Amino acid sequence: MNKKITIAIDAMGGDNSPNKTLNGVGIFLKENKNKKDFFLNLYGEKDKIQNELSNLKISSDQIKIIHTDAQVNDNETPLTAIKNSKNTSMWKCINSQLEGEADISLSAGNTGVLLVISKMILKMMNDVSKPALAGLWPNQKGMNVVLDLGANIECNEDNLVDFAEMGSALFKSIFVNEKPLVSLLNIGSEEIKGTETLKKAYKKLNELSNDNNFIFKGYIEGNKMMDGDSNVIVTDGFTGNIALKTAEGTAKFITDNLKKSLTQNLFTKFSLIFSYFSLKTFKEKLDPRKYNGAIFLGLNGPVVKSHGGIDALGFYHSIDLCYKIVKGDLIKQIKNNLNHLKK
**Residues of the shown chain interacting with a copy of itself in the complex, contacts defined by CB under 8 A:** 138-140, 150, 153-154, 185, 187, 194-195, 221-227, 235, 237-239, 241-258, 260-262, 264, 267-268, 270-279, 281-282, 285-286
Q: Which is nearer to a copy of itself, 59 or 77 (CB)?
A: 77
Cβ–Cβ under 8 Å, residues 173 and 333? yes
Taking the complex as a whole, the smallest distance from the CB of residue 286 to a copy of itself amounts, in Å, to 6
**Sign of the dihedral through C-alpha 151, 100, 89, 305:** positive
Q: Which is nearer to a copy of itself, 279 or 313 (CB)?
A: 279
Closest to 93 in 3D by CA, of 39, 42, 18: 42
Taking the complex as a whole, the smallest distance from the CB of residue 330 to a copy of itself amounts, in Å, to 26
Q: Which is nearer to a copy of itself, 51 or 309 (CB)?
A: 309
Query: How far is residue 335 from each of residues 6, 152, 213, measured CA to CA in Å?
Result: 20, 21, 12
Q: Which is nearer to a copy of itself, 212 or 275 (CB)?
A: 275
Taking the complex as a whole, the smallest distance from the CB of residue 192 to a copy of itself amounts, in Å, to 9
DSSP annotation of 4: P
Taking the complex as a whole, the smallest distance from the CB of residue 197 to a copy of itself amounts, in Å, to 11
Taking the complex as a whole, the smallest distance from the CB of residue 193 to a copy of itself amounts, in Å, to 8
DSSP annotation of 176: T
Q: Which is nearer to a copy of itself, 126 or 278 (CB)?
A: 278
Taking the complex as a whole, the smallest distance from the CB of residue 244 to a copy of itself amounts, in Å, to 7
Burial class (CB in 10 A: 0-12, 13-18, 19+), 193: middle
Q: Which residues of 106-139 are buried (b: 16+ CB within 10 A; e: fewer)?
A: bbbbbbebbbbbbbbbbeebebbbbbbbbbbbbb
Q: Which is nearer to a copy of itself, 14 or 150 (CB)?
A: 150
